A = this chain, B = another copy of it.
Amino acid sequence: MSSSTATTANGCATNGGETEDEWVWNEIKAEARRDAESEPALASYLYSTIISHSSLTRSLSFHLGNKLCSSTLLSTLLYDLFLNTFSSDQSLLSATVADLRAARQRDPACISFAHCLLNYKGFLAIQAHRVAHRLWALNRKPIALALHSRVADVFAVDIHPAARVGKGILLDHATGVVIGETAVVGNNVSILHHVTLGGTGKVGGDRHPKIGDGVLIGAGATVLGNVKIGEGAKIGAGSLVMIDVPPWTTAVGNPARLVGGKEKHDDVPGETMDHTSFIYVI
């Protein structure tokens, strides 16, 4: 975002003396206060999860700890784990903020940052994945896999801790998303529900898709194997893709065929004109 209180695409402005992260956090708190005022029945939830916290990192760690806890994995333990991991790597918070912005910009059904932070299971699954990924990178595999398992249970989103995922990610609806161990997902990617980025059975090695920046993958699409989906490409809903897709190109069908590049992309399933408007189902 440009500095000195430039107005953003969705009508928000930032003050020169405040980082983008701070601005988003202040927005979230203001939204939560408004909602608490208008809906007392929800105020308790909004205060405990957002308003009472001193930072987005703490709010998110608290929320994830309470969402993902179980009778054998206590909320206090998970809260600590999230808080320590987020605190140890500032880039995690930047990615969180980019994801929040992605939801606001790309999903017209997202009515506020707070809405996304509280309710988007795809958003929450991605944040938990980033923590699991960092733990995996530190060779703390058992706890990374335990976290992975809780996310798979609670959100029905299954991202292997080893998978590398960029920032500005939108997992819309998110139920049933599966992303394999050697998959790589670029920045500003949008993935709808029931999408699989899977392997093809070559045992071991680099066997999962590489998804470029700005790619959109429609609901129920299955991408298999170490294929490359180029920057800005689009994958139609329900497609089965086992081939490379060039940048700014669309693939549709089962099995998928390439149906258009920059110039031809109006009539494909779940595809749309530009980077910020496409297959939304909410």
Binding site for B on A (CB under 8 A): 35-36, 38-49, 51-52, 58, 62-63, 65-67, 69-77, 79-81, 108-109, 111, 115, 118-121, 140-143, 145-146, 148-149, 152-156, 158, 160, 173, 175-176, 178-181, 192-194, 196-204, 207-208, 219-220, 222, 224, 236-238, 240, 242, 253-255, 269-273, 277-282
In contact, A39 and B237 (Cβ under 8 angstroms): no
Min Cβ gap A149→B in Å is 4
Q: A38-B142, A47-B47, A270-B224 are in contact. Are A70 and B67 (CB under 8 A)?
A: yes
B73→A200 contact, CB < 8 A: no
Residues of B within 8 A of A73 (CB): 45
Which of B115, B140, B196 contacts A145, CB < 8 Å?
Answer: B115
Q: A44-B47, A121-B152 are in contact. List 5 more A-B contacts (CB 8 A).
A: A41-B143, A49-B72, A158-B193, A175-B176, A194-B220
Q: Is there an interface contact between A66 and B70, defined as CB atoms closer than 8 Å?
A: yes
Contacting residues, chain B, for A201 (C-beta < 8 A)? 270-273, 277-280
- Chain B residue at minimal CB-CB distance from A115: B145
Partner of A178, one of B66, B142, B175: B175
Q: A75-B74, A178-B175 are in contact. Are A118 and B146 (CB under 8 A)?
A: yes
Closest approach, in angstroms, between the C-beta of A176 and any C-beta of chain B? Answer: 5
**Given A237-B222, A240-B238, CB of A199 within 8 Å of CB of B75:** no
A142 in complex: contacting residue of B39, B65, B193, B203, CB < 8 Å: B39
B72→A72 contact, CB < 8 A: no
Copy tally for this chain in the complex stands at 6
Q: Is the CB–CB distance between A175 and B198 below 8 Å?
A: no
Neighbouring B residues of A145 by C-beta, 8 Å: 111, 115, 118-119
User: Which chain B positions have C-beta within 8 A of A70?
Assistant: 66-67
CA distance A134 to B203 in the complex (A): 36
A42 touches B143 (CB 8 A): yes
Report A260 CB to chain B, min CB distance, Å: 15
Instruction: Please give me the residue from chain B that is nearest to A238 by CB atom.
Output: B240
Q: What residues on B are CB-neighbors of A199 within 8 Å? A: 279-282
A41 contacts which of B52, B156, B269 (Cβ < 8 Å)?
Answer: B52
Complex: chain B residue closest to A65, CB-CB = B76
Q: Which of B153, B156, B196, B280 contacts A180 (CB 8 A)?
A: B280
Contacts of A192 in B (CB 8 A): 198
Whether B79 contacts A181 by the Cβ 8 Å rule is no
Once the chains are docked, how many angstroms separate the CA of A74 from the CA of B46? 13
Q: Which B residues touch A69, using CB under 8 A?
A: 71
Q: Is the CB of B178 within 8 A of A193?
A: yes
Which residues does chain B contribute within 8 Å of A51, judged by CB atoms? 40, 43
A74 touching B48, Cβ below 8 Å = yes
